[in-house]
Amino acid sequence: MTDDGARSALYEGRVWHRRFKPRAHRLAYRIPMLLLDLDELTALDRRLKLFALNRFALMDFREADHLDGSATPLKAQVQRILVDGGFAAGGRVRLLCMPRVLGSVFNPLSVYFCEGPGGGLQAILYEVNNTFGQRHSYLLKAGPDAGQDGPDVRHGVEKRFYVSPFNPLAMTYDFRVVPPGDLADEQPLSVRIDVKDKAGLLMTAAFTGERRALTDQALAAAWLRHPLLMAKVVGAIHWEALKLFAKGLRLTPRPPAPEHPVTTADL
């Protein structure tokens, strides 16, 4: 593959949340997300006028917004996490996340698709941010070695990190993911999370998006459709929290963040 950004892409799609108990609640909104091959970041910075790496632009990407927040290149951090989790380093890593828009960003969930040195998806790293400035990641096995049969990746992990003030830690996450391809006409990318407690399904959250070429024209069109993207995302989180509070849900105490920044699971 030439170094022209062809493995990176823009995905425009729909986020939706549905809570089943103790009170029914739902919301949905449309957002753009970037799929960034971490080996292409410098090439994208050179090729695009409306996108920048580690500096201000209409839409930009800052490596320090992710993982340990340091100046260490993001791919090097992911490779270290993979090795620590028992996986092989050296493969391609693509990150699905929202960009900074006019300098602002909040990513409730960023997803790293991690391939093995010989190609093929070997793991997915889910990076979760809460609105209290904390961050935690879950590293889960994917691919044939994890029992994957077909395009969907399915795996699960115990919840270790406080996110919603209405949900305690005693829960599990079940993920169902259709990973990205390299062609615009392939099946839409999707990430779905079922949140369960001991009594069963509590809520579901999902993103489904259609692939677009990552060009200046596409970025400009996405911004015109979503000029206040970050205000929309953060505002939706707090507005929906107020509505849940009005429905009678009460806040759960926030425990300390996990001592280790990454939970590795093979469930």
Calculate the dihedral angle through the C-alpha atoms of 223, 229, 232, 235, rounding to the nearest 10 degrees.
Answer: -160
Looking at residue 49, what DSSP letter applies?
S
Beta strand pairing call for 135-141 and 109-115: unpaired
pLDDT at 227 over 80: no
Report d(CA 121, CA 141) in Å as an integer: 9
Report d(CA 111, CA 53) in Å as an integer: 18
pLDDT, tens digit, 9 for 90 and up, residues 43-75? 999 999 999 999 999 999 999 999 999 999 999
For the ranges 128-137, 171-180, 237-246, 258-267, the lowest mean pLDDT is seen at 237-246
Looking at residue 230, what DSSP letter applies?
H
At residue 134, the pLDDT reads 92
Nearest to 191 by CA among 125, 258, 105: 125
Report d(CA 168, CA 252) in Å as an integer: 6
Tokens 């001592």 found at: 259
At residue 251, the pLDDT reads 65
Please give the residue that has the higher pLDDT: either 184 or 156.
156
What is the largest distance, in Å, between two alpha-carbon atoms of the chain? 55
**Which range is most confident: 146-150, 166-170, 217-221?**
217-221
Domain boundaries, the chain: 9-265
Mean pLDDT of 19-30: 83
Mean pLDDT of 252-259: 82
